[in-house]
Structure 1
Amino acid sequence: MKLYLYTLLIAITLLGCKKDNTNNNGDYAFFGGEIINANNNYVVLSKSKQIIDTIRLDGNNRFIYKVDNLQPGLYNFKHGGEFQMVLLEPKDSIMFRLNTLEFDESLVYTGEGAKKNNYLINEFLRNEIEEKKIFEFCQLNAEAYKKEIDSIKNIKLKKLKKFKSKYDTSDLFNKIAQANIDYNQYFNKEIYPFVHYGHNKYDILESLPEDFYDYRKTINYNDAFLKDYFIYNSFLRWNFNNIALSEHYKHAKDNHFKSSDVCYNLDRLSLIDSLVTDHEIKEDLLHHYTVNFLNKSNNEKNNKAILDFYTSKSSNTESKAMITQYANALHNLKTGKNFPETVLIDTRNSETSVDAIINSPTVICFWSQTYYDHFKESQHKIYELSTKYPEVKFIVINVDDYGMDSALKALKRNSFTFKNQYQFKHPKASKETLALYPITKAFLVDENQKIVNGKTNIFARNFEEQLLGLINR
């Protein structure tokens, strides 16, 4: 397989050079790969949320693509709902190989430009592994916690220094690799007050060393280069969670704190509005927190306050219309209302509807191949719950628009049951009607098709209590 990849890389590089001698169309790079257990027959390549092309796989689930007029930087490639990033620079000829069963873990690059990308994907995987340790370290006092995460950062800096001494790295790679280390460290510090045990967040903030958040003085809230990078966006969200907490305590009547407090959420939105000037970054943050609040709150007055603030600050007409529609949909999904008529496709590709299959206490939950970890974890959880509570029907709906065959392949590959598995016939319209965000959302519905809870989650701590309440109604 490696021989095939290298031969192909040499061929396309020579071909590219020949072309460029006669027709110089700017910087370029070649990007391609092979996908084992492909979920469909294409890969979507994009940059900064703009789709560059949808690239077809050949009969061997391989592809090669020339990116003309290359803008050096991070690109996104997506297949079957999963995605990853690749750093492309002029004259790169990068091939990858991955297995969709272990998308990130199996991803390996070869060719010109491969080493820097293998470094970045390995750092991504290390960060995922370290996350559990970080949450454990969060239970230490602040000084001890700082020592632990400083130690992790120093190890990463030494690895980067060794990599740079061994290979000729570009300024662009150096910037991304350093940002990855820095923003992981910043992220780890921002989560500390929220993950540290104890409900009194005020006391936790007061116990922090004076220099704990010194790095905030240098933070760029409008980094156009990093705005597509996962760790930068994760940091921004937790940073605003944290600085809004401090702002909230300036006017709170007591030290009691709940993340669902409307004043805390308004403080956070206000801080975003004042600190972020980059249009895209601001819109993403305002949108994220507004939708999250609306999804969790049942207080119409508070919902209106958050929605009004958002619509007054957002300049995205389409997004404002979408969130207003989302709020209206949530209003129609309140406890006691009928579950909306929803057309489904069953595993035999026959059409049915929700009202035709609900005749007992029912849980309706959802999955997507885009969120692969949630897909696997939720299927296991549903099996566990359905075995424990046989009097409850679990209806499981795939929300993708890839067709039922693709959903069945995903279920079959993971040895999951086909029982009570469905797919929306009209995914876009159904997701809007059911205000389906986040994907972890679930509905409890009684035998009369009345909504008992429209904002629950099968992984919630009290979910089994909710099930017992549904059964005993």
Structure 2
Amino acid sequence: MKYLYLLLLLGISLTSCKKDGKETEEGIAYFGGEVINPSTNYVILLQANSVIDTFTLDSKNRFIYKLKNVSPGLYTFSHGGEIQMVLLEPNDSIMFRLNTMEFDESLVYTGAGAKKNNYLIDLFLNGEHEDQVVLGFSQLSPQIFEEKLDSLKELKLKKLKAFNSKQSPSELFIHLAESSIDIQYNLSKEVYPFVNYGNTERGNFESLPNNFYDYREKINYNDPYLVDYFPYSSFLKHHFENLALAKHFKSSKDSIYSKQSIEYNLVRLQIIDSLMTNENIKNSLLISATLEFISNNKNVDDYDKILNYFLNTSTNAQHKEYANKIVNSLKSLKSGNPLPDIVVFDISNKELNLKTVLGDKPCVIFFWSQSNMMRVQECHNKVDELKQKYPEITFIGINANNDNQDLWKKTLEKYKLNTENEFIFKNPKEAQQSLAIYPINKVIIVDKNGKIENSHSNMFSINFEEELLGVLNQ
């Protein structure tokens, strides 16, 4: 969800917003930071998907900003295709420091208001690590799984109580921290039927205790303070998947969860539309569900049914424009069509049309991003393995979210990646749209004649090597 959010931000204007009303010293806060290895020369501050301002980095890659009549709440700041959260309240003076090579993990806040933000960031990052622990619990029975989950939640609540007793934070912070703990707990329970390998999804649903989802009665679907909290959107996404699948099972004979089912996905959009009233959250969930269906379904004839429902329910004009363009791009990327004209740079800064680097052999084009360095290593390791098995195929890697050639080259050097057949887009935003690069782990397979074989493959799929053999045997 976080990376989809970033793609949508690319279309947002980078203009500043002016606030009306008399400025008061009591309502002032300061926000600034230092970016190491910047991928652009600016940082964007947003709240509820609206741009507050854009800050230009100075010669030392730093900035400082004075917020007048600050509205207490979570904000987000974006740099080079990556994004993170910050809680700002009156009288805060918060500075961050981060390295784009490890964006989230390197982020540290200092200054007045830093402790509460470092606590929230730790909750967020620990939640990501905790997912692996909970994944192991998910193979247990529902009762034992719930007991272990309760223990994790209780431990976090005790730590929060100790922090609050020392720091005396605001009611807003306490609400956000408690919500973060609840969301992680609830998310784990929503995901359980999908990751437990004991039965089919239908079987897992039917085996759950009657009170397993009792917490749903207390869900606030439209909490305005959680609009910019990434895990909240992730929880709602999985929650609505569950509700839609349960409803879908009642009217169908399906026993498994199919992301490609148009009936299921229409139900999912309908439930989001019926339960959400906060337009920012609702629109984000609608675009996420729509793009997820489109990205998992290779039948372009099904796109318009989902797209039309989305266009009739979303109130976000930019989301509508983006979804329309993605669908049109995917239709043009059908099997048998040539690639669109895309300009790239090679390691020597030579400007090339992507078509010209394909050569006369079948090609696999894969994409990577500075925002997920683990993926950079994983995909290149996989490519090295595939190169040994299939020397008749050319593998082309493209940095998809960045036009900073120096940072791109530093990344290649840092991870000791072979620079042959590595490229960077000249215009990332346009290229992402033309090639419909969502999600980032998609792979495009092209035959020896430069025609698209599959515009939406996955090199980690169990069927991927069968696809490669198929294109070689043509």
What is the TM-score normalised by the length of structure 2?
A: 0.89
How far apart, CA to CA, are the structure 2 residues paired with 1:63 and 1:204?
51
**Contact 2:26/2:90 (8 A) holds in 1:** no
In 2 relative to 1, CA 252–95 (structure 1 residues): closer, same or farther, beyond 3 Å? same
Aligned residues: 452
The alpha carbon displacement at 1:396 in A equals 1.5
Q: Please list, as runs of the form range in 1=range in 2, the aligned pairs for 1:265-276 lying within 5 A after superposition.
A: 265-276=265-276
1:155-304 matches, within 5 Å, as 155-198=155-198, 200-304=200-304
Shift of 1:169: 1.0
Contact preservation (8 Å) 1:295, 1:330: no
Aligned residues of 2:226 and 2:232 also touching (Cα < 8 A): yes
Aligned partner of 2:392 in structure 1 is 391
Shift, 1:444, TM fit = 0.6
Offset from partner CA, 1:350-370 (integer Å, 9 cap, x none): 221122122201001122324
**1:26 touches 1:70 (CA, 8 Å); kept in 2?**
no
Deviation at 1:176, TM superposition (A): 0.4
Whole-Å separation in 1 of the counterparts to 2:381 and 2:399: 15
Q: Match for residue 104 of structure 1?
A: 104
Q: Distance in 2 between matches of 1:78 and 1:328?
A: 28
CA drift of 1:201 comes to 1.4
Asked whether the 8 Å contact 1:96–1:109 carries over to 2, the reply is: yes
Which secondary structure state, in structure 2, belongs to the residue aligned with residue 86 of structure 1? strand
Task: State the partner residue of 1:140.
Answer: 140
Aligned residue number for residue 445 of structure 1: 446
Check whether the contact 2:40–2:404 (CA below 8 A) recurs between aligned residues: no
Identity %: 47
Partner of 2:78: 78
Pick closer, same or farther for the CA change 1:414–1:50 going to 2, 3 Å. Answer: farther
Partner in structure 1 of residue 423 of structure 2: 422
Is the 2:80–2:402 Cα contact (8 Å) retained in structure 1?
no
Secondary structure at the counterpart of residue 111 of structure 1: strand
Structure having greater relative contact order (Cα 8 Å, sep ≥ 6): 2
Closer, same or farther in 2 for the Cα pair 1:412/1:299, shift >3 Å? same
CA distance in 2, matches of 1:254, 1:40: 48
Separation in structure 2 between the aligned mates of residue 383 and residue 468 of structure 1, nearest angstrom = 17
**C-alpha separation between the residues in 1 aligned to 2:98 and 2:406?**
22
Change (3 A) 1:470 1:241: same
Q: Which residue of 2 aligns with 1:48?
A: 48
Equivalent position SS for 1:468:
helix
TM-fit CA distance, 1:441: 1.2
Return closer, same or farther for 1:23/1:325 CA change in 2, 3 Å cut-off: closer
The residue number in structure 2 matching 1:382 is 383
After TM superposition, the structure 1 stretch with the greater mean CA deviation from structure 2, 159-168 or 98-107, is 98-107
- The answer as to whether partners of 1:368 and 1:439 remain within 8 angstroms in 2 is yes
Residues 263-319 of structure 1, C-alpha deviations (whole Å, 9 max, x = no match): 111111111111112222221111111112122223344323222222222233443
- Distance in 1 of aligned mates of 2:313 and 2:57: 43
The CA RMSD measured in Å over matched residues stands at 2.2
Which residue identity lines up with residue 381 of structure 2 in the other structure? Answer: H
Q: Following TM superposition, by how much is the alpha carbon of 1:244 offset from its aligned partner in structure 2, in angstroms?
A: 0.6
**Letter paired with 1:73:** G
What amino acid sits opposite 1:120 in the alignment? Answer: L
Q: Offset at 1:228? A: 1.2
Matched with 1:8 is none
Distance 1:339 1:51 in 2: 34
Instruction: Give the Cα separation in 2 of the matches to 1:335 and 1:169.
Output: 57
Q: CA deviation at 1:143?
A: 0.4
TM-score by length of 1: 0.89
Aligned residue in 2 for 1:152: 152
The aligned amino acid for 2:142 is A
1:333-412 equivalent positions in 2, closer than 5 A: 333-358=333-358, 359-412=360-413
* TM-aligned CA deviation for residue 47 of structure 1: 2.0
Gaps of at least 5 residues in structure 1 are: 1-21
Does residue 116 of the first structure (1) align with residue 116 of the second (2)? Answer: yes
Whether the 8 Å CA contact 2:259–2:293 is kept in 1: the answer is no
Say which is worse superposed, 398-407 or 274-283, in terms of deviation.
398-407
> Is contact 1:40–1:406 with CA below 8 Å preserved after alignment?
no
The match for 1:5 is none
2:28 is the counterpart of 1:28: yes
Deviation for aligned residue 1:82:
2.8
Deviation at residue 171 of structure 1 after TM alignment:
0.4
**Worse-matched range after superposition: 127-136 or 89-98:** 89-98
Shifted more, 447-456 versus 304-313: the winner is 304-313
**SS of structure 1 residue aligned to 2:409:** helix
